[in-house]
Amino acid sequence: MPDVSLVVCVHGERDLLERLLREAEGCHDDLVVVHDGPDTAGIQSLVEQWGGRFFVRDRAFQQEPHWPFAWAQARHDWILRLDGDEFPGPEMKLWLKQFRAAPAPPAEVSGYMCVWPLWNGRQAVTTRWPNERVFLFHKQRVRFFGMVEQMPLPDSAFTQLGLILCHQPRHGTLGLRNVLCRRQAYVWRTVIARSLQGKPTDLACWRWTSEAWPPGWERIRSRPFRSAAARLLKGTLKSVREQREHEGRILPGAAINGPIHYFLICLEYWYRRQRGDRLPAAGHRNLP
């Protein structure tokens, strides 16, 4: 029977984290919460109330650089990776409880993906797409370097499930406003653009030893303008096709959201490269 560690990285938003811990009760055996920057919202006391362990790290304005550290603190190999503004839907909660009571999955299963419905600030507007959110994985079967927009890469494969992970932040998660007017999106694009001028191993890593970038990131590095155009055109068409396949309709704001974000990443990379503005090496040892 596999034991599960719930690992969460947050910055403030105590009420959302409390909702997550309440909704995820009974779905995990261990709790690790890492706070990005000083805790001014009383997060530590909340985590301790729920029997978890709490860590404060230097402010990074993103959670990915904290993941290798957080996974190293987890007592168990199976990591339930949720954000503070997420919580498992009813079917996912039942599945997680059954997962913990069943025999361990075979070694070729690195983890599991779920549906991550889009949220307009009031309600979910999709039910079956996007469907590639990695929510549970075995930490000795994935590799990762700590850059925003980078997900864990499996040693073998992730199994896709139809379970729903509710993502309900205070703001919506689709539309041009989310990409063009949200300050955090600009921070993320800047961090990515600066990071890409170095090597993945300059960042905080988990079982990642290669100095080569994965193909998608390398295309941005080698041909930023061509990649920008391709991301905008092909990314939009891909989103439209997937929406029609899974939702039976097209949501223009959702279809263009990701492609424009990556289009701007490519341009930001070119701009930062011209200036020689790169992210300093993290100085973290590779974990585990």
Query: pLDDT (tens digit, 9 = 90+) per residue, 160-177?
Result: 999 999 999 988 777 777
Strand order in the sheet with 153-154: 153-154, 142-145, 205-206
Is residue 181's pLDDT more than 80? no
Return the residue matching tokens 């938003």. Answer: 13
Q: How far apart are CA 148 and CA 81, in angstroms?
A: 15
Per-residue pLDDT reduced to its tens digit, 27-48: 999 999 999 999 999 999 999 9
- pTM (global) more than 0.75: yes
- Cβ atoms of 32 and 6 closer than 8 Å: yes
Contacts of 151 (CB under 8 A, 6+ apart): 134, 144
pLDDT band at 178 (very low <50, low <70, confident <90, very high): confident
Q: With DSSP H G I counted as helix, E B as strand and the rest as coil, what are the percentages for the chain, rounded to 5?
A: 40, 20, 40
Torsion angle of C-alpha atoms 97, 103, 105, 111, degrees rounded to 10: 20
- Cβ atoms of 63 and 140 closer than 8 Å: no
What is the pLDDT at residue 188?
Answer: 93
Q: How far apart are CA 170 and CA 280, in angstroms?
A: 32
Per-residue pLDDT reduced to its tens digit, 48-91: 999 999 999 999 999 999 999 999 999 999 999 999 999 999 99
Distance of CA 236 to the CA centre of its chain: 21
List the one residue out of 64, 250, 45 whose CA is nearest residue 152. Answer: 64
| 124 class by beta-carbon count within 10 Å (0-12 exposed, 13-18 middle, 19+ buried) | middle
Q: b vs e for 230-239, b when ≥16 Cβ sit within 10 Å of the residue's Cβ?
A: bbbeebbeeb
Span 274-286, mean pLDDT?
70
What is the pLDDT at residue 281?
Answer: 61
Span 88-101, mean pLDDT?
98
pLDDT band at 273 (very low <50, low <70, confident <90, very high): very high
Per-residue pLDDT reduced to its tens digit, 135-153: 999 999 999 999 999 999 9
- Cβ atoms of 134 and 150 closer than 8 Å: no
- Cβ atoms of 253 and 119 closer than 8 Å: no
Q: Which residues pair with 153 in a beta bridge?
A: 143
What is the pLDDT at residue 284?
Answer: 54
